[in-house]
Amino acid sequence: MPAPTVEGFSLSHAAILNGTTGAELSDIYGIREGTLEVDTDSFDNTGDDAVLSSWQWFNFATVTIQSGFLSLAMLALLSGSTITSSGTAPNDSYTIPLWSEKSLNTSSRPMLIRIPSKDTTGAQRYLDVVLYKVQFGPISFDGPSYKNGLVVSYSGKAVMSDKDEKNTALTERAIGRLVSSPRP
């Protein structure tokens, strides 16, 4: 029996989901690093020179994935742009607009972030972060630099949603969920 306590090791996979079945629509290839940070705040209710209660809330979560590869298909998906090609192999070329007005404020998409993990008994598992509604911004570049090459950053805001990654209604609004499952 697997234990419900898991430790994550490293980011191994990230993908955009299709929003209807939860299947992967496009893979963010060659992940180097990722962050997921919740924007949270609190308010202290004071009286009689003391804190009587504290109220907590969150607004959204910022997700950033850095990759060593630029996928034109992923860029087209996130920006709403179209890839055009010309020529024939091996002399073919591909073109896509970079930072165009059309790429601003595109549709939100569900996202999966996968972390290889183990439970407290040592059984290998996956720890998946499923984000229901991520509004992606324009990609950014770092480099190219010596030995590190070109780094592409995909970032977005995961906001509250009343539907999950399969477009199924939730009983309460949420940004996403954690799933611990066996590794095949």
Q: What is the pLDDT of residues 48-93, one digit of tens each?
A: 889 999 999 999 999 999 998 888 999 999 998 999 999 888 899 9
pLDDT tens-place string over residues 4-49: 778 888 888 999 999 999 999 999 988 988 999 999 999 999 998 8
Instruction: Tell me the mean pLDDT in the region 95-114.
Output: 91
Phi/psi at 79 (5° precision)? -100, -15
List pLDDT tens digits, range 119-178: 888 888 999 999 999 999 999 998 777 877 889 999 999 999 999 999 999 999 999 999
Tell me how long the chain is.
Answer: 184
Q: Read off φ and ψ for residue 69, nearest 5 degrees.
A: -130, 145
Residue 2 preceded by cis peptide, ω within 30: no
Flag whether pLDDT at 3 surpasses 80. no
For the structural domain made of 6-40+52-84+92-182, what CATH number should be given? 2.30.110
Chain-wide mean pLDDT for the chain? 90
* H/E element, 106: none
Task: Provide the pLDDT for residue 183.
Answer: 85
The set of residues, in sequence order, having a beta carbon less than 8 Å from that of 9 and lying 6+ positions away, is 115, 116, 117, 118
Is a pLDDT exceeding 80 seen at residue 1?
Answer: no
164: nearest Cα among 18, 5, 2, 48: 18
